[in-house]
Amino acid sequence: MTELAPYAVSEHNTRGRIVHEEAPHGRSEFQRDRDRIIHSGAFRRLEYKTQVFVNHEGDLFRTRLTHSIEVAQIARSIARRLHLNEDIAEAISLAHDLGHTPFGHAGQDALNACMKAYGGFEHNLQSLRVVDLLEERYAAFDGLNLCFETREGILKHCSADNAAQLGELGERFLHDRSPSLEAQIANLADEIAYNNHDVDDGLRSGLITLEQLATVPLVATHLKEVRDAYPELPERRVVHETVRRMINTLVSDLIQQSERNIGTRGLNTIEDVRNAPALIAFNPEVNEQQLALKKFLRTHLYRHYLVMRMSAKAQRIIGDLFNIFMADSRLLPPQMQPQANQTESDRARTVADYIAGMTDRYAIREHRRIFAVEEMPVSF
């Protein structure tokens, strides 16, 4: 690794772990965080969770696992070029979606609606809950006992109410301070990854076309370049070559603009980072272009009627499961059974943890096991 900038997250300025542990041998604290995330059960389940398309709809579509790996790749490249800590950028990227429900945003909206009377459901907060509490792998503590800066990066957004309950970790939301530059990178790497892979997956699915996309400036520029340079190129390769160039442009622009922002601000320490506004950013013109692409995807892909039908089904499955487990908690598997003295709100949180942890196909199967009349006697 190249030498770190003085304002990068490092082992010298970390606020450490909640439960004290000996320093790791042969790897850094943040490499240890990354390794713990990769070995977690929640990380493996990302393989069977929807990004946009339900997991079994096609073998080539992104899942949350491949999405998270793409985010980590982009974040590491950017961190390295800015002399920031690649390892923590990677750890945050790999963990950022651990709390996602099955069925993507439709699943999150459905679970949030179910949890309305019990404090709501927010996937960012759930990712933190997974690494702080829900993973049961270590003898000495619940969760993964990650470093403060990794947990801070995972908690991208947070309401003031929730922030007030999170102690040190919630402070920045109450006092309008920034997270580390590495956390800011992971956040924007997420956007770069999904905007671009959703173009690719959307085209592959046939729900959007290249002609439609040619109305979006960011796509149009690169599409024209590719078609001019390679007039005979088959359509699939035109798509890959165009998307590749889009990612390159966004990553290069982000690096240049962020370098300028950091230079102007004259940072010396990580405290300077926390006191500054967000410094990892696109230049305004590229930002416009990337927002236009985002808007296009929302209108033409995420709200496509076939995606909406899938979302409606997903909401039905999640709503049904939540309601029946709340009505009769004896239907929950033994390890999820609430304690006798739990309040209704605690019980709802346990049910939400159980549902959020499900993969798409597990949720579908669980729904069938409980509701399908043709599944008599009950299957396992």
Q: Which residues bind Mg ion (CB under 5 A)?
A: 97, 190
Nearer to Mg ion, 102 or 338 (CB): 102
- Spatial neighbors of 44 by CB under 8 A, at least 6 apart, are 65
Tokens for 326? 């709340």
Does residue 63 sit in helix, strand or coil? strand
The residue at minimum Cβ distance from Mg ion is: 190
What's CA 316's distance to the chain center, in Å? 23
Least spacing, CB of residue 202 vs Mg ion, in Å: 16
Which region, left, alpha or beta, applies to residue 25 given φ > 0 means left and ψ of -120 to 50 means alpha? beta
- Is the distance from CB of 97 to CB of 68 less than 8 angstroms? yes
What minimum distance in Å lies between the beta carbon of 109 and Mg ion? Answer: 16
CB of 360 to Mg ion, least distance (A): 16
Q: Smallest distance from the beta carbon of 35 to Mg ion, in angstroms?
A: 21
Residue 264 one-letter amino acid:
T
| 191/366 with CB nearer Mg ion | 191
3-state secondary structure 190-235: HHHHHHHHHHHHHHHHCCCCHHHHCCCHHHHHHHHHHHHHCCCCCH
Closest to Mg ion by CB, 97 vs 366, is 97
Q: Which is nearer to Mg ion, 194 or 282 (CB)?
A: 194
Nearer to Mg ion, 97 or 201 (CB): 97
Is the CB of 29 or the CB of 201 nearer to Mg ion?
201
**Distance between CA atoms of residues 93 and 229, nearest Å:** 35
The label of the residue with tokens 């991208």 reads: 156
Torsional class of 62: left (φ above 0), alpha (ψ -120 to 50), beta (otherwise): beta
Nearest-approach distance from CB 150 to Mg ion, in angstroms: 16
Distance CA 5, CA 181 (A): 11
Smallest gap from Cβ 64 to Mg ion, in A, equals 7
* Backbone dihedral angles phi then psi of residue 50, each to the nearest 5 degrees: -65, 140
The amino acid occupying position 372 is A
| Minimum separation from the CB atom of position 222 to Mg ion (A) | 23
Q: In terms of CB distance, is 94 or 270 closer to Mg ion?
A: 94
d(CA 97, CA 80): 22
Give min distance, CB of 125 to Mg ion, in A: 15
SS3 state of residue 2: coil
Looking at the Cβ atoms of 122 and 190, the one nearer to Mg ion is 190
